[in-house]
Amino acid sequence: MLELLLCSLLTIVPDYLYRRYAQGKRLGREITLYSVWFELRWGITACLMLTVALITVIFYFHPSTTTATLYFRTVPIIPETIGRVAEVHVDFSAPVKKNDVIFKLDSSKQEAALETARRKIAEVDAALGAAQVDIIKADAQIQEAKSAYQQASDELNVKRELQRRNPGIVPQRDIEKLGVLLAGRQGTVDAANAAKESAMTRMTSLLPAEKASAEAALAQAQVDLDKTYIRAGVDGRVEQFLLRPGDIVNPMMRSAGILIPEGAGKRSLAAGFGQIEAQVMRVGMVAEATCISKPWAIIPMVVTSVQDYIAAGQFRGGEQLVEAGQTLRPGSILVLLEPLYKGGLEGITPGSSCIVNAYTSNHDQIASKDTGAFKRFALHAVDAVGIVHAMLLRIQALVLPVKTLVMSGH
């Protein structure tokens, strides 16, 4: 309607003025309801053509969309293991901080494994103490064996010396017995040394390895026990949390609830523009938005990202061929917008539906010396008609509460 009124000022009104004052025709006499088409046919035709052209220019170079939403990410609250809920620490809706416990699973099995690992470590520590006693005992046995060996060796040397000085004074059988006794005492010394070496190896290698394994089992048991405490991964808010003690949670089939991170839906606005505007949408374009959850407010924004792919054309490889006719409607170009000023999205509820206008700016081309006069004038005209779309957005923001509350019947 605004475009039609604007174009009529340049076409129908001058045509009427020419008929009225230049040709002397009067409204209600020569220009009547029946003859208005014949008398003003040039102005009406030019008005309609100019209106269509103006609407095309406005909607192409200054695109608009009503499919804009403040999307926000939710984090599922899922335990790493299957279990029965033992305790719930948050209400139906509550704020949480990072690492706060949301709920706890039954941990009797994990606590038993933890206690078993602790007892194993205590058992290894006791074995280490016993190994130290065994080493002391082996030292005493070595000393005893060495003393007996030395006594047998001294006695054998004495009898051999007597036999050398006075042959026949010492029976040869006694000397042989002492030699066998000395060899036995040497075996006792070797056995005592081997016992000590075994005790040393057990204390320095075997038992420390067993203790390290027991400590690893303790750490694993502690990790398994910690997994029964389901904590918040980020600061945020738990919403619609209906989990209660006794419920079974399964990470493969059922999550316990959702966590909305703090600040979710407060950073950017996602809007879907028509495919025909793919050549116009650019990063850095100035835009404006108005949202249902914050009526009568125009939010200055800037385009920060334009997705190069249209979601309607995606497919996953499988055993069936792609049928193009199954695409029911053309997809849209996803554009991300952020507020031009800090705090621009304050007061807008995440998930709210919005209306967005984007405006093309040809300032750089207009200021360029390589741009001709006619092209410069055309670019000026393209930028200037953006004010019409800005007026339309403000009218939409003005009537949006009335349309939502009155016209929809709510």
Q: Which residue in this structure is represented by tokens 């899922």?
A: 78
- Please state, as a whole number, how many other Cβ atoms lie within 10 Å of the Cβ of residue 278: 13
Query: Per-block average pLDDT, block size 10, for the chain (410 residues)?
Result: 66 72 74 70 80 83 90 87 88 89 90 90 85 79 76 72 69 71 76 79 81 89 89 88 86 81 86 89 91 90 90 78 74 90 87 91 84 85 84 88 73
Backbone angles phi, psi at 320, to 5 degrees: -115, 150
Q: What is the model's pTM?
A: 0.68
Q: What is the pLDDT of residue 2?
A: 63
Token pair recorded at residue 253: 């089939």
Burial class (CB in 10 A: 0-12, 13-18, 19+), 85: buried
Q: What is the pLDDT of residue 168?
A: 66
Q: What is the pLDDT of residue 157?
A: 75
H or E stretch including 279? none
Q: What is the pLDDT of residue 364?
A: 83
Could you tell me which CATH class the domain 75-105+229-261 is placed in? mainly beta
Instruction: State how far the Cα of 288 lies from the Cα of 342, in Å rounded to an integer.
Output: 15
Q: What is the pLDDT of residue 177?
A: 75
Q: What is the pLDDT of residue 290?
A: 92
* SS3 call for 343: coil
CA angle 323–277–298, rounded 5-degree value: 125
Instruction: State how far the Cα of 311 lies from the Cα of 320, in Å rounded to an integer.
Output: 19
Q: Which residue in this structure is represented by tokens 């991170």?
A: 261
Token pair recorded at residue 92: 């139906």
Q: What is the pLDDT of residue 34?
A: 67
The CATH architecture annotation of domain 108-214 reads Orthogonal Bundle (1.10)
Q: What CATH topology corresponds to 63-72+265-313+331-409?
A: Elongation Factor Tu (Ef-tu); domain 3 (2.40.30)
Strands 64-69 and 248-249, sheet pairing: unpaired
Instruction: State how far the Cα of 134 lies from the Cα of 139, in Å rounded to an integer.
Output: 9
Q: What is the pLDDT of residue 401?
A: 84
